[in-house]
Structure 1
Amino acid sequence: MQLFISTIGLLFVGKLLEPIWGSREFLKFIFFVNFLTSVCVFITAIAMYYITKQEIYLYMPVAGFQGVLSGFLVGIKQIVPDQDLWFLKIKAKWLPSLALLVSIIVSIFTTESASYLPTMIYGTFIGWIYLRYWQRKPETKLRGDPSDEFSFSTFFPEFCRPVINPIATIFERMLCGRRSEISDESGGYTLGGTTLPGSDPIEASRRRERGARALEERLTAERLAAAGKTDETQKDATENV
């Protein structure tokens, strides 16, 4: 069952992310998120074993694609944050948070789901770290996405952000070293007084437009394919009559 879900998720989300990121960056994302998620879950399991002395933590499933699928949701949040989902009345930017919330609720009632919860949490977090700080952008020759729309606090509701923002700022300084991100009049970020290319709202808007266009083209193609099959079915039925 897990293999089936992972395969469907890879094929479905890959149609949206791979054309925008490129094949190389898409594969790099899968590798890094899967590898680092497995390492983090393994370290957590060992730590919990030494703390609680319960052997159940030694048999936690470390390998798995759930972390990558969670990371894919973060990628959708980055590319088409304001896109309304066709099957739910929510915006795409809330997909990672909603998936984690549902997983936490389900894990309370089922032990099997609880064993995969750390994988999803680490997958979401590492996916965000990769896209925020490590992903190389060919159009700007920079790494990451420093826009405010993709900050860590955007994973939480508005009322939680005053508490999350100070913690996120400390984390930002740890990962970025001496890089100072100061919003200028145009809303861009600066490094030593020089605006970073690709960090202004224009670049972020272009990225969202590309993602929305790719999603719309894929949905249109699916609708046309479904309509074509319907017409063929009706034609065959007419000929049989």
Structure 2
Amino acid sequence: MRINIPPITRALLLSTIFFTVLYALARWNALSQNAGDAVPAFSPSIPFLTLVPSMSVYYPWTIVTSTFVEQNVLNLLINTTAVYLSGKYLERAWGSRDFATIVVVATVVPNLLVIFTYVLWAVVTRNTTRADTPIAGAISLQAAFLVAFKNLVPEHTVSLYKGTIKVRVKHFPFIFLILNTFSGIVFGTDTALLLGWYGLISTFIYLRFFKYQSEVGTKGDASETFAFATFFPNVIQPFVSIFCDYIYNLACQLKIISPFSDEAIASSNEQATAREGGLPVAINQNRVAKLASKQEEVERRRQLALKALDERLRNPASSHDPTPDSTSTVPAAPPSEQPSK
């Protein structure tokens, strides 16, 4: 039986299995070599596969490979399931090229930020072991998938335990962050905490400001329903919005991003409305096409008005023509209205 898996999703699955098996073999070899040492055998470092901040300069490829290394069977099952289910949907919805770009963003950017964080942590606390922390796992990639689903199908409801628990897709990113944050603070899994936050933020920034929308020919998603504040509960959204607005205005002033135009906001809101209403793709594209056509008509009329104004400014006399003849005769009244003699 043939299993139809898109190419990038297939490559992710094979990479995860390959690098995890390779890591297990390398780890088993390290354990066997250190069997007689006093070094804790349960935590060998494999710096040529996992990301070790202090050694990343010598093994730069670990910025990518560490994402595909899972340290136990449970994490391997969770990650491969997430990649298989999410990858098939997202790659078919966006295409292989856009999906691959998301994977690169969610893999490279969070790992670079983690390197900087742990090195800074080691310098500030003077605890050099923080820079030797091995980092592995696809937490940032899982966060990216949740952000992508919030962008595409935010109002879709997922039912768990035969409908006992129902959760909308737009709430999953916040639940994911809360769980990883709690685990990082309570159980010391700070790598998952950092990768979760960095993966979510980097993916959001790319989708919000840089991803090209081929349907309308604009960059990013300026819809109000995809603002960063909407990732959080309604109670704290106003406070998050204040902070996000400040960051957005600062980034625009520094020319890091371009401010959204009114047309881009209207177009993105139209797309978001279509997605929230569960409209078919064909209907959605039709509505977007109509909106784009309407915007083109407005732009055409604006150009004509500017041209007419320019012509009037070049020939001011034509806009103040005097009356042809002040002594022109008034049309005669109808016979019925002429005075009798």
TM-score range, shorter chain: 0.7 to 0.9
Q: Provide the rounded CA distance (Å) in 1 between the counterparts of 2:265 and 2:120.
A: 42
Q: Provide the rounded CA distance (Å) in 2 between the counterparts of 1:120 and 1:210.
A: 29
Query: Paired residue for 1:228?
Result: none
Distance 1:54 1:99, change over 3 A: same
What are the ranges of 5 or more consecutive residues in structure 2 without an aligned counterpart? Answer: 1-71, 282-341
More helix by share: 1
Please give the per-residue CA displacement for 1:88-141, whole angstroms capped at 9, x wherever unaligned. 422110101001101122223323x33321011100111111111111111112
Is 1:91 aligned to 2:159, yes or no? no
Q: Secondary structure at the match of 2:167?
A: coil
Aligned-pair identity in percent equals 25
Query: Paired residue for 2:82?
Result: 9
Query: Paired residue for 2:270?
Result: 202
Q: Provide the rounded CA distance (Å) in 2 between the counterparts of 1:98 and 1:160.
A: 15
Is 1:56 aligned to 2:56, yes or no? no
Query: Paired residue for 1:42?
Result: 115
Q: Secondary structure at the match of 2:236?
A: helix
Distance 1:74 1:211, change over 3 A: farther
Query: Paired residue for 2:140?
Result: 67
Conserved 8 A contact 2:212-2:219: yes
Q: Secondary structure at the match of 2:222?
A: coil
Query: Paired residue for 2:62?
Result: none
Q: Provide the rounded CA distance (Å) in 1 between the counterparts of 2:105 and 2:237.
A: 28
Query: Which of the pair has the greater relative contact order for Cα pairs under 8 Å at 6+ separation?
Result: 1
Aligned pairs for 1:61-210 within 5 A: 61-87=134-160, 88-111=165-188, 113-177=189-253, 179-181=258-260, 189-190=261-262, 195-196=263-264, 199-208=267-276
Higher mean Cα deviation, 81-90 or 19-28? 81-90
Shift of 1:198: 6.4
Query: Paired residue for 2:103?
Result: 30
Please identify runs of 4+ aligned residues in structure 1 that moved more than 6 A: 210-213
Query: Paired residue for 1:227?
Result: none
Distance 1:56 1:46, change over 3 A: same
Q: Secondary structure at the match of 1:199?
A: helix
Shift of 1:5: 2.5
Code of the residue aligned with 1:100 in structure 2: it is L
What are the ranges of 5 or more consecutive residues in structure 1 without an aligned counterpart? Answer: 182-188, 214-241
Conserved 8 A contact 1:79-1:211: no
Query: Paired residue for 1:185?
Result: none
Distance 1:197 1:96, change over 3 A: closer
> If you compute each CA radius of gyration, which structure gives the higher value, 1 or 2?
2
Shift of 1:57: 1.5
Q: Provide the rounded CA distance (Å) in 2 between the counterparts of 1:206 and 1:72.
A: 21
Distance 1:61 1:96, change over 3 A: farther
Conserved 8 A contact 1:42-1:62: no
Q: Provide the rounded CA distance (Å) in 2 between the counterparts of 1:41 and 1:130.
A: 18
How many correspondences in the alignment?
201
RMSD of Structure 2 on Structure 1 (CA): 2.3
TM-score w.r.t. length of structure 2: 0.54
Q: Provide the rounded CA distance (Å) in 2 between the counterparts of 1:7 and 1:175.
A: 37
TM-score w.r.t. length of structure 1: 0.75
Q: Provide the rounded CA distance (Å) in 1 between the counterparts of 2:248 and 2:280.
A: 28
Shift of 1:200: 4.2
Code of the residue aligned with 1:53 in structure 2: it is R
Conserved 8 A contact 1:9-1:69: yes
